[in-house]
Amino acid sequence: MCSVNNEHTVWLDPAYIATDGLQTIVVWFDNQYLEHEDSFLKKAEEFNDRKRGELRVEVVSALKALSNTSFDKVKGQLNALESAEQVLAVKQHWIINGFTCTVTTEGLNSIKALEGVDKIFVKRPPSYTKREDMGPEFIESKPVSRFDIESVESYPWNIKRIRAPEVWSEFGITGKGTLNVVHDSGFKLDIPALAETIYTNDGEIPGNGLDDDNNGFIDDYHGYNFDAGLANLNEPNIRRGTNIHGNMCAALISGTLETNTNQAVGIAPDSQWAPVIGSSNFEQAVEWAIEQGADTYSMSFSQPNLGEFRTHWRKVLEHGTLSGVVFISGAGNFASGASEAAIPVQMRTPEDIPNVVLGVAGVGEDGQRPVFSSQGPVEWNTDYYKEGTVAKPDFATLNFEIPCIDPEGNLLNKANGNSLSSPHMAGIVSLMFSANPDLLPWKIKEILIETAEDIGAEGFDYQSGHGFVNAYDAIKAVMKR
């Protein structure tokens, strides 16, 4: 569906249905940093000899300049539309050149007429909001890490299978200096294995109700709930059998030691991690992660039936990758059972995004793929991205009967699912960045392809991608480079 705006055709998401109610949309201006569907690969080739930190500063500066130029031209009109209650809750973005807002039908028509408006997508509402049983927002006193290579007495089979202890002992690389953002829910922040490595935003004074670092978010000391608009994402009353999904994933990446033992639980135990919630406002979550200096961004969730909105997700993560972040997502659990889906939609968003999201499947301790593990290929036939069939998943790690921390920080949970394959990969990538912080995200992927162990049909296959990844071979290749 299209309309004409000053002789320019505005594309409108076919999911939009005119009603008397309010709908949330995300608007693209016409001047994007990556202008075309094939621009990411061309930019990556152009930037191949750059250092990641320098490139991050340059790309973020360019993204913000584009956003401000376009937004400033229409800011006055948007203010007027808000006063007339045609438009509500305008949020400018810089990770794409555009903004999110809620509109009436009349407001949508007014948005179409704004200078530079190019595309309008229908946005899903938040699925996770404020709860009364959450808090406190921050850890009063962050405990000193108990992790020391020499003091580790044991580790579960999955940490050994990933070969993380070999990396620690032979190379002395434990993830130090890296930040891993965990986009999830179910966080209990005071578990020792996680409290010892949780991120602290030094620009923010915790609990004072002020936006000390002027980034638009109050008290974002450890992380932020972008859907609720609050720093509070701590669930201290989590009990066994309830959602502790975020903690399990975070501990596999950055966990130190099991409570009251010297058993290691994480792949990169000297790294830091930051929790975020943001199923709807993921643009803000990605922007926040970049500005905090994130290295990896783990997404153990899977969204079906996004339609054309997949395009928006992909463009955001393409820009985020050029800003220096490696995005990782589990392949999904939709190959069998009540939630079985047909190929090519067994893998969903964001794991279906090519080039810039490492879509990770997995195997169990026996090296076999569980029947639930989603398979590729996927298809890209949106209005904007038209590759057709795309090879997925990218890699495999571990996803079956994984020892995971419980609400007390003990390794008593055994969990299944590709939610766990993503943090295994994030931990490996964290170690890679710890070995060489200047590596570009697409160089990380190149190394993983070079070092992956072929475990399925010869060459790339639609169950394990390029193969099984282990930390030791990946780090050894990084050190050679």
Which of 35-44, 119-128, 317-326 has the lowest average pLDDT? 119-128
Tokens for 410? 């003990």
Active site residue 245: yes
Question: Which of 312, 348, 429, 339 is closest to 25 using CA atoms?
Answer: 312
With 60 as the cut, is the pLDDT of residue 302 above it? yes
Residue 244: both structure tokens together: 């502790």
Catalytic residue among 93, 183, 222, 245: 245
Residue 323 in this model has a pLDDT that exceeds 60:
yes
The pTM score is 0.97
pLDDT at res. 193 = 97
Which one is catalytic: 419, 421, 422, 464?
A: 419
At residue 87, φ and ψ (nearest 5 deg) are: -130, 140
pLDDT at 412: 87
Q: What contacts 10, CB < 8 A, 6 or more positions away?
A: 2, 3, 4, 112, 117, 118, 119, 120
Domains of the chain: 2-122 (no CATH), 149-480 (3.40.50.200)
Inform me whether the pLDDT recorded for 437 exceeds 90: yes
**Residue 130 scores a pLDDT above 80:** no
The torsion defined by the Cα of 317, 178, 138 and 126, in degrees rounded to 10, comes to: 10
Residue 6 has pLDDT above 60, yes or no: no
Unique residue bearing structure tokens 């929790």: 275
Of the residues 184, 295, 352, 394, only one is catalytic, namely: 184
Handedness of CA 94, 422, 144, 192 (dihedral sign): positive
Query: For the segment 143-191, what is each residue's pLDDT rounded down to a tens digit?
Result: 999 999 998 999 999 999 999 999 999 999 999 999 999 999 999 999 9
